[in-house]
Amino acid sequence: MAEEMKVIVFTLAHEEYGIEVDKVRTIERMIPITRVPKTPAFVKGVINLRGIVIPVIDLRGRFGLEETEPSESSRIIIVAANDLEVGFIVDSANDVLDVASDAIENPPEVVGGVKAKYLRGVAKIGDSRLLILLNLSEVLNRSEIIQLEKFGE
């Protein structure tokens, strides 16, 4: 029997993505974001979540997709990566799925306009559904994490 992992399913530009549940702290509705000067365009700023200052990244911008105004269904997914909590703005977060490890294939060079280095793989769900699994360590590469850690101080 293949191992299974639970993933949170979210959408960006009409594509479905997944992040392992054990990396997700919480999913929040959009709340006011405080801009921080001298940051990359996709870093939207910081939020104060229950007394903790958390940097927020627009995943559309991070992946080079067209950024849009947040909507009623937009969410901030708070993830933990390398001892750092970061919020990802996504179009919607709507599901938790079990994905069998043998259903995951290596990603093609580009999926939905997103470069393969940001992706862990593509999972086949049923006959027609594909789920793009994020590689969090690349989405938050080391130099950016160092920059983001400075916000938290």
Closest CA to 86 of 6, 146, 14: 146
Q: What is the pairing mode between strands 43-49 and 52-58?
A: antiparallel
User: Which DSSP letter does residue 105 get?
Assistant: E
Q: What is the pLDDT of residues 70-106, one digit of tens each?
A: 999 999 999 987 778 899 999 999 899 999 988 998 8
Q: At 112, list the tokens.
A: 């939905």
Task: Find the mean pLDDT for residues 108-135.
Answer: 79
Task: Find the mean pLDDT for residues 120-139.
Answer: 86
Helices and strands in the chain, H and E counts: 3, 13
Task: Find the mean pLDDT for residues 145-152.
Answer: 60
Q: What is the pLDDT of residues 23-56, one digit of tens each?
A: 999 999 999 999 988 888 888 999 999 999 999 9
Closest CA to 92 of 152, 149, 9: 9
pTM of the model: 0.86
Residue 17 has pLDDT above 70, yes or no: yes
Residue 40: the pLDDT is: 82
Q: What is the CATH number of domain 4-152?
A: 2.40.50.180
As a whole number of Å, the CA-based R_g of the chain is 15
Task: Find the mean pLDDT for residues 122-151.
Answer: 77
